[in-house]
Amino acid sequence: MKYANSHWSHAGWQPLITSFIGALKAGLPASGMIPPIGKIAVGAMWYKTILSTSVCPNEGSSNYTKKPDGWETATDSLNWAVVLPNDPQGMQIRTITNGRMDYFQGKQGLNYGTVSVEAGDQRLELLDWAGNVLLVASGGRCVSSSCPDCIYNMNYQVVELKKDTGVVGTCPYQACKRQVFAHYMVSLLLDLSNLDH
């Protein structure tokens, strides 16, 4: 698993998987997926944090600076999934990529989609019938048009749909910084050494 480490949690998918398992065990289709008791909805957004046009320094000078397998098939997209209750009462889903907004009418069960991503902050919102924000997925790392990690990092940033706390995505350095690369390599080596135990 080249480039994978503990700093890229995918736990935001767990509520979606729980809802899927419940529907599967009950023999229901995707429209039969429901949020857990006490939740108005569950969901997440996920995206890679560099664009396919990004160029990293020292490409190919080591195993970690090469483009990863599958690079040429990657898309610049913000992916999302939201599970709504049996009566969504006019709820809408709004994606925001670097300020550009797209809207989707919510329906019972699983809602999902993909929009093209732009460099900058990413956000997913669940709106009520009047346009008020009920839940958000925000605070993930910004998408960069450069190479802030000094490698072609294809790990998905997964951000769970939760109550809005006002958190905004963190935008790293716009260009590769040697100290960032050194920190990443030390972190990666520590993670790999833990796999041996």
CA dihedral defined by 170, 175, 177, 182, rounded to 10 degrees?
A: 70
- 65-121: per-residue pLDDT in tens? 888 888 889 899 999 999 999 989 999 999 999 999 999 999 999 999 999 999 999
Distance CA 121, CA 140 (A): 8
pLDDT tens sequence across 45-54: 999 999 999 9
Query: Taking the alpha carbons of 80, 123, 139, 190 in that order, is the dihedral positive or negative?
Result: positive
Locate 126 and state its tokens: 């669940």
pLDDT tens digits, 143-195: 999 888 888 888 899 999 999 887 777 776 556 765 455 555 556 666 666 66
Whether pTM exceeds 0.85: no
Q: Please report, to the nearest 10 degrees, the dihedral formed by the alpha carbons of residues 64, 66, 70, 71 taken in order.
A: 110
d(CA 115, CA 133): 20
According to the model, what pLDDT value does residue 6 have?
Answer: 52
Question: Is 43 in contact with 13 (CB distance < 8 Å)?
Answer: no
User: How many residues are present in the chain?
Assistant: 197
The domain ranges of the chain are 11-195
Q: What is the residue whose two structure tokens read 């209750």?
A: 85
Contact 43/137 with Cβ under 8 angstroms?
yes
- Structural contact between residues 188 and 63, judged by C-beta atoms closer than 8 angstroms: no
Residue 68, both tokens: 């990863």
How far apart are the C-alpha atoms of 30 and 44, rounded to whole Å?
16
